[in-house]
A and B are shown apart, each in its own frame.
Chain A
């Protein structure tokens, strides 16, 4: 009887979304209640004076006056919002992998993530409110391999990798195969910055030819997938034919056996070798040889895995849009897109999101584009493009400053809610991180407790929860 009384609310909680909870405040696992003046449920949607209930790492309720379960931890703050996601980072990657220029498409960035390295940078990023990062190794390679989403506060190796094959990375116009290169320096605190060893000017036509290479790789992937599908089809046909032949043979089995025995006898008499009858159905269709790299491009061309392609200049973007127009299922995401404003309408129409990096490079900086226009994110968003904001994938320490980058985009003309969405809900949606990015029932409790609005310079992150665990403790 006693047991039952404990179990009943559990079942209720599971079936009616926690509505049966208030009846019996029984501890059912690790519970946290956050009392907030303001909860940013999702960008642009704010609930005032409500509580957030987290049980076993999952958001269970967001409403006023939640009864605090026994044994639950209570926290409070002015503003509660979802943990930020840096959709374009190198935080945690081993330095050599960042600058590596010849990975294979099937390389996974998660495998170059050092779970023990860059402790200080990871801590700083977490303390500034970033809970997950999409890391891309080998940014400057034509094909950079698969990017992975990592947790900055894992409890084990298992939840360190949120998704290991989240997108395929590629770049146009960044690597000159014939000259130049890059090295890195390490600061006193262990951070490192990539130093490009001088501009490696690339012929414009050479850059365009990289677009053609990407298109041909997609085509190869598509052919590979078609060959695979054809094989499946052929195999089915073959199985059918075999079955039919077997049926046919079984039907006249006795006569056939007799005929065969007779033929064997005759052959013996004549001193000849008996030849078994061959059926064309004997030969099974051959499967295409497995190729890990082609398999990745097959997935990309087929829209199963998005393609995140870093491209900056007008001519390259134009050519890329033309070259990929026929790949109807391709899910392309542009990274960088310094001069993408000219294509805002087309990008919106074709549902191509852009990861903007509002870093303020000067004209003399390594990337050889004449600076980044702070208005880019706003122009794209206004045209209806899904805009994500990332720290650009070349400095491990940059992820700490993600919210300032979003603020800069807002200052450049983007709506502040859109800029916040660009580092929370939009990256979650574009990269299928269905359990994070907003504060909703059933999502993982990656939450920030702030003393002001998330994009303000003067706002302090008071506490951070990842999967319901308090990973940055409130001070004082």
Chain B
């Protein structure tokens, strides 16, 4: 349906300037659904003009024939490596108006490393471990362009946010603290409760997943919880809460539960995205985790969307990243094969319609 709309849009207004570039790919994945065979991507002026099958190249456009896959730039959910030691403020439990973007180190090498792995956009988050640590930001890995300074309100409802000597001292008082802040509805808490500002809730164990789901349901929150590992038995509650799940990185040697929980969430109708979780994990690990989940039975297209469109959607970045559609920033990656296959090589990374990595040795 979406594809047809885009096609219709293109037929109605084939506006492409002379700087137009057309990428024809054997397989074009738009960030959701099935990949388009013999797909065409038309970009101009840093934006996507049209995508789909059988789209005609505008006159005078540079045409790139790519025998392989084209996907949106991968979406890096939950990263901590662009803020140095400024990840967490331990002095107060609630800092809803804090903005992590003020801690951004734009020249960190970590961003370039993400880019080389095909990750074009990341959420930079305050670290977990405080009940409310303020808002995350959305950042492009090329040029450190800040796309959104108030992406998600970051909460943590796990044991990690509880202190022995400072309120809240128990999971119950932690829950009560957040519940009343959301009920009062002032500032960022109010915007979260009204559904305007998405949330990112760390939930590292079963009690916390249940708490996150119940807070979301009670206050009409939207967004995602972080913590797939223990979610297997709580799929129905998570699905009912309307929250998506940013998954724990699945690394080599992960035990079966890690993959099984993710599959159960998908089967239960929950939207999932893979967490990038740098610097504790390398950015390449996201694809390794996706491959491991596919080996354990996850649909490859769902796994691809969990690294692009769905991950962006549940992170509150659905309007800015994760999908290739007319009017969106032309951020995409050329691969030799499907990114689900680890043997596939990253060939080129394009951001805002410019090739920013790869392509030299072709």
Contact = CB atoms under 8 A, between A and B. Distances in A.
Contacts of B277: 362
Given A362-B285, A408-B342, A410-B342, A391 B280 contact: no
A360 B285 contact: yes
B331 interface: no
A457 B281 contact: no
Interface string B273-284: 000011111101
Contact of A371 (B113, B294, B300): B113
A411 B343 CA distance: 4
Interface residue SS majority, chain B: loop
Interface in A157-200: 187-189, 191, 193
Contact of A408 (B288, B294, B340): B288
Given A187-B255, A397-B255, A362 B288 contact: no
B254 interface: yes
Contacts of B292: 401, 404
B255 A191 contact: yes
A407 B342 contact: yes
Given A371-B113, A458-B300, A360 B288 contact: yes
Contact of B252 (A364, A404, A413, A456): A404
Contacts of B254: 397
Contact of B340 (A188, A191, A391, A458): A458
B81 interface: yes
Given A187-B255, A191-B255, A407-B342, A457 B284 contact: no
Contacts of A364: 81, 279-280
B256 interface: yes
Is chain A's interface secondary structure helix, strand, loop, or mixed overall? loop
Interface in A407-445: 407-408, 410-413, 416, 419
B253 A395 contact: yes
Interface in B310-355: 340-346
Interface string A356-389: 0001111111000001101000000000000000
A79 interface: no
B282 A411 contact: no
B252 A395 contact: yes
B110 interface: yes
Interface of A: 124, 187-189, 191, 193, 359-365, 371-372, 374, 391, 395-398, 400-401, 404-405, 407-408, 410-413, 416, 419, 455-458
13 contacts: A188-B257, A189-B256, A193-B253, A362-B285, A363-B279, A395-B252, A396-B253, A397-B253, A397-B254, A404-B252, A410-B342, A413-B345, A457-B294
